[in-house]
Structure 1
Amino acid sequence: MDGATSDSDLLAHISELVDEEKRLRAAHHGLTGEDRQRLETVERQLDQYWDLLRQRRAREEFGENPDDAKERPVNEVEGYLQ
């Protein structure tokens, strides 16, 4: 996502990813290797987008430009406590 992404765009994308995550987890036949990989990708993307949304909201709260928030690498945001 680029710096011109709005909170509503982020929330819409997060919602799509959450729906996909739920669909993958609900697979009654078990996850294929490809499904497991996709689930891991979705989980990493969710971590990044939630982090970006939090950054945007924090910047806005403190009178800064939310568009200056930057997507951080997966390895940086995965270790955060939620």
Structure 2
Amino acid sequence: MDDREIIDNIGGLVSEERDLRDRSTREKTGLSTDEKSRLRTVETQLEQYWDLLRQRRALSEFGEDPSGARVRSPGEVEGYQS
């Protein structure tokens, strides 16, 4: 997967996340259980894609092959501090 594909995936997930968050505040009942689960999944996937993109860019910056970057586990990327 190259940077363009990663960015496209991030864009799609951001759009889906925005839609779910809008629905959660617009609907009196909030999100269904399935929608809440999907939102958590989308948030996790976003963290993983952003992490993958950062890895690829760091490898490139230091003259290494960006294809060496790998998707890390949700537990690993969710534990990062800004």
What TM-score, normalized to structure 2? 0.93
2:11 alignment counterpart? 15
| Structure 1: 5+ residue stretches without partners | none
| One-letter amino acid of the counterpart of residue 61, structure 1 | E
Question: More deviation in 13-22 or 25-34?
Answer: 25-34
| One-letter amino acid of the counterpart of residue 73, structure 1 | S
Give the match's secondary structure for 2:44: helix
**Percent identity for Structure 1 against Structure 2:** 51
Q: Deviations over 1:19-70 (max 9, x none)?
A: 0000000001111101000000000000000000000000000000000101
Superposition misfits of 4+ residues, deviation over 6 angstroms: none
Larger RCO of the pair (alpha carbons < 8 Å, separation 6+): 1
| One-letter amino acid of the counterpart of residue 49, structure 2 | Y
| One-letter amino acid of the counterpart of residue 19, structure 1 | S
**Which whole-Å CA distance do the structure 1 matches of 2:11 and 2:36 have between them?**
19
1:57 alignment counterpart? 57
CA RMSD of aligned residues (A): 0.6
Instruction: Report how many residues are paired.
Output: 78
**Which whole-Å CA distance do the structure 2 matches of 1:37 and 1:48 have between them?**
17
- Bigger radius of gyration, 1 or 2? 2
What TM-score, normalized to structure 1? 0.93
Q: Higher helix fraction: Structure 1 or Structure 2?
A: 2
